[in-house]
A = this chain, B = another copy of it.
């Protein structure tokens, strides 16, 4: 029996990044309205300032601030009204000393004016004259040109996952098409002689296949494109044939099951063979997730991954390695996390990092992390968990009340 030469999570990530250097996913031009949750493959630069002209923040009168000096409730200043700006209109008048003009919220500030007095502090004295009961400073209630976004500024960075607010900002700049990354194309193969399609009633000794469903959904959640899903028996040659076929169309081929040291283990040999002896990682120093295999075939540019058969381990290794790698290759920022206090002591696994599932409990301005336990393979642990944290391989354990960094699952 060959000993598995395991890699740490960090070493495995580094090795894959090196092997795939320069293989940034292709990009595609999309309509802005279709771009929610996609990953920007370009910096978005402002081709014009926002706002394009000075705007009023209130309904009121545009004035020269100096004219209002000393105005108060008891002693108003009288100004001559020389015009009115309509919403959406430009101002066809100039505010000179001693004059003013009406501006609605969002309206364009007329030339000459440098501040706006809120309507509430003004009163029309007669048809042409306004009493101003408050003094305003230069720039008061005015959004200046380019104050929101400067011309030439990078407003949204490459690698940003596009949220509704980014769509709003791009709309404001007139950017109606964006270049985003194309998702990896994926083939998912679930192997095991015991597996039957979830629609079937399993016979004794058989179980319903979970991984093909769970991994498809996981890939979809990361915006990846699942081309094909198969459930196959643990027979090496037909399996290898399918892998080779899939490598022609897929950026990523994932095989789950068959990578433990059982009698019918073939995945490891297959990955080695199809990647030209280039299988990079045989085993992770990670609990769960040890029997994971990664190979990269430079000729087709395909990443071939053997995930553990246990559904919990398969999902966690997908999260920590496959999804991590896709996010890295598309320049994405780190995931959301939070710090939470442990509800109990927890022992580490000697020589292996532990990916521990936790339930989060909110209590008085603090989150607590309660480990979700269950024998390996119990998928119900995943639905009971809100997230996970990683305990380093050199950590002996974590004490109750100690803080851990939890990532949502």
Which B residues are in CB contact (< 8 Å) with A168? 210-211, 213-214, 217, 311, 315, 379, 382
Q: Binary interface profile of A, 363-383, with partner B (CB < 8 Å = 1, else 0)?
A: 001110000001111111011
- Report the bound CA distance from A33 to B339 in whole Å: 33
Interface membership of A408, Cβ < 8 A: yes
Interface membership of A75, Cβ < 8 A: no
Given A194-B107, A211-B168, A214-B164: A377 and B143 interface contact (C-beta under 8 Å): yes
Interface membership of A59, Cβ < 8 A: yes
Which B residues are in CB contact (< 8 Å) with A85? 205
Given A203-B90, A205-B89: A147 and B375 interface contact (C-beta under 8 Å): yes
Contact at B36–A210, with CB atoms within 8 Å?
A: no
Binding site secondary structure of chain A: loop
Q: Binary interface profile of A, 189-202, with partner B (CB < 8 Å = 1, else 0)?
A: 00011110011111
One of A170-178, A267-275, A344-352 contacting the partner: A170-178
- Report the bound CA distance from A208 to B170 in whole Å: 10
Contact at B174–A201, with CB atoms within 8 Å?
A: yes
Contact at A217–B167, with CB atoms within 8 Å?
A: yes
One of A47-55, A65-73, A243-251, A279-287 contacting the partner: A47-55
Contact at B264–A165, with CB atoms within 8 Å?
A: no
Interface membership of A230, Cβ < 8 A: no
Which B residues are in CB contact (< 8 Å) with A201? 174
A57 partner, pick from B210, B366, B375, B408, beta carbons under 8 A: B375
Q: Binary interface profile of A, 50-88, with partner B (CB < 8 Å = 1, else 0)?
A: 111101010100000000000000000000000001111
28 contacts between A and B (CB under 8 A): A32-B213, A33-B216, A36-B220, A51-B207, A52-B207, A87-B192, A87-B193, A88-B192, A88-B193, A88-B205, A89-B193, A90-B203, A91-B205, A104-B262, A104-B263, A106-B309, A107-B194, A108-B205, A148-B377, A148-B378, A164-B214, A164-B218, A164-B220, A165-B385, A167-B214, A167-B217, A172-B207, A339-B367
